[in-house]
Amino acid sequence: MASISRHQRLLILLGLFLLGYYFQSQRRASADLHLWTGLTSGDPAFRWKDVRLTYPPKKITPLPPGGVQEFPRVQQTFGVESTADEKLRKSRQHAVKEVFFRSWKNYKRLAWKADELTPVTGKPKNNYGGWGASLVDNLDTLWIMGLKDEFDLAVSAALAIRFESSTLREINVFETTIRYLGGFLSAYDLSGDSRLLSKAIELGDMLLVAFDTRNHLPVTRWRIDKSLHSKGQEAQDNSLLAEIGSLSLEFTHLAQLTGDDRYYSAIEHITTLLTVQQPLTHLPGLWPVLLDALDANFTRHNTFTMGGMADSAYEYLPKMHFLLSGSDPRYAHMYSLFSTTALAHMIRTPNIPIENHSALIPIDIAIDSLAAPYLHEQGQHLSCFAGGMFALAGRLLSLPSHVDIGRGLTEGCLWAYSATPTGIMPELFTVTTCPLGTPCEWNETLWREGVANKVGLKGPDDPYLDKHIKAKRLPKGFTTIADRSYLLRPEAVESLFVMYRVTGEKRWVEAAWGLFENITRVAETGLAWGKVLDVTVPKEEVEIGDIMESFWMAETLKYFYLIFSEPELISLDEYVFNTEAHPFLRPAARTGAKDRASN
């Protein structure tokens, strides 16, 4: 054996020291994790329902009696499909299924039971508690696509999740509700597997503990360990509207399925506050992006949007009205106030290079008490859900003009897709607009003036303006593009799906196929599909970020699949989709509907 030099001995000792330090740090990290979760091992006897509450509710408000209202038919009555149309539709449906299965297969191979697969490096990622967000989020997608063996495998893994242990110090109650609770509820509705309902109850009982505050509003960024050790928490004074106002569908449906009114009672308190304070905000009819949940004050802040951080609170108004079969009139009333204000102030006609267009766009608004509302003419990909929302509400509430508003909003998003070199809409951008109902023919001078104003140039004839437009890669119509990325988001195809089911107009199907081809071609990686970092560069120069959110499979591909499915598969007359595209079977439609939910 060769002798070891002094230098080699030092290297070996250093290596042993580093190895020991690594294992010690791993033990500390493990201890820290258990400190966060409050448990040192999985206790099979542990139940969230048994956790002692600091502020137990003084009363439980029961679900209102259901079945009190007959609704107009939501879906168009579709005629007999020709052989050629059926062949084309099924080929497109198969293409979507292939993309889903490749994404799912590599998630299963490289990141099984993790929250996400990183689509470039192929690593597991845990950013939603480490409970398998992509797994639970896609239980219903697997069922709908007829992948029953994969569904059974995923169910077995999902049933083993222990929600009292988390990879995160703080839990996002909203994301946990829409992805996990919504996923279990929908999978139960479709499959009838009672084990999934039991898992939803387990998670629902955990999430109820987040409402254990003085005023019974939820802690949206919730510490599990504090609740397990009876350390009080309070709702935050800067909560997001979407995270407070978008828990209603999931908790209500859990109450419907179990008969346990605790779940409905928790969100009914939020509904009461939203109802009472809606006319009292700085823009009556809308709630601001930020809510003071600590003081239960939903009127204080002055910024309003239909986009990110607010979107699903509005989306849930007509959907709750439908899920409850009209038994709580407050939801229809809140939608009426919201839509009246939105149509008066927020929904505008964009100045874009299309003749005689009907496109619309929702913009953001800030209110100054000493001046008129400030219109921030910002468009968001997240706002693209609004076309489907208006169309659905138009059917449910017999408001044909709202179906037309839905058409315009969906057209606005399609324009934003078509305007870029990749054929994909950017995350955030601004445009110049005209008030709703006024002519807004393309005016290039107005557009150039808008671009110049954004960067402090002298006007549309400023000699530096063309250089700026070229350097910033601004297609005609865009005055700025604040975020050039595309995160595989579903909102545009969601509205295309709803518009097609509501109107029967095939142009929405053709538009969806165009989006599918562009997205899958541009965002593809060696393993799956990922975030497009810049949609404004030529296709050959696109770079892909290492992010594939669970909603890529759970929402975007599910909506693509359904728009190319037979219209009675997950009928909008029988199911209500939560904001994560999980279809909940309406109690009024339960008989016979589940038989049609499998392709």
- Token duo for residue 214: 């003085």
HEC profile of 14-45: HHHHHHHHHHHHHHHHHHHHHHHHCCCCCCCC
* Whether the Cβ atoms of residue 357 and residue 441 lie closer than 8 Å to each other: no
Sign of CA dihedral 213, 215, 220, 221: negative
Output the CA torsion 435→436→442→448 (10° steps): 30
State whether residue 473 is helix, strand or coil: coil
- Token duo for residue 123: 């690593």
427 classed as catalytic: yes
- Distant-in-sequence, close-in-space partners of 119: CB < 8 Å, separation ≥ 6: 103, 106, 525, 527, 528, 529, 530, 544, 546, 547, 548
**b/e per residue, 133-152, with b = 16+ CB within 10 A?**
bbbbbbbbbbbbbebeebbe
Tell me the β-bridge partners of 483.
Answer: 428
Helix axes 491-503, 400-418, angle to 10 degrees: 140
Backbone angles phi, psi at 395, to 5 degrees: -70, -50
Backbone angles phi, psi at 482, to 5 degrees: -75, -30
Which helix or strand (DSSP H or E) is residue 55 part of? none
Closest CA to 313 of 301, 331, 295: 331
- Token duo for residue 25: 């740090």
Active-site annotation holder among 150, 250, 411, 427: 427
Closest CA to 39 of 228, 237, 259, 176: 228
- Token duo for residue 283: 């823009």
Q: Which residue in this structure is represented by tokens 């023919």?
A: 441
Distances (CA, A) of 307 to 298, 337, 403: 18, 18, 20
DSSP assignment string, 390-444: HHHHHHHTT-HHHHHHHHHHHHHHHHHHHTSTTS---SEEEE-EEETTS-----H
Active-site annotation holder among 116, 311, 328, 364: 311
* Whether the Cβ atoms of residue 318 and residue 69 lie closer than 8 Å to each other: no
Q: How far apart are CA 462 and CA 426, in angstroms?
A: 27
Helix, strand and coil content of the chain, in percent to the nearest 5, comes to 50, 10, 40
> Is 579 annotated as belonging to a binding site?
yes
Would you give the distance in Å from CA 223 to the centre of its chain?
23
175 classed as catalytic: yes
Q: Which residue in this structure is represented by tokens 């107005």?
A: 446
Active-site annotation holder among 193, 268, 491, 574: 491
**Residue positions annotated with a catalytic role:** 175, 311, 427, 491
Binding residue numbers for Ca(2+) = 579
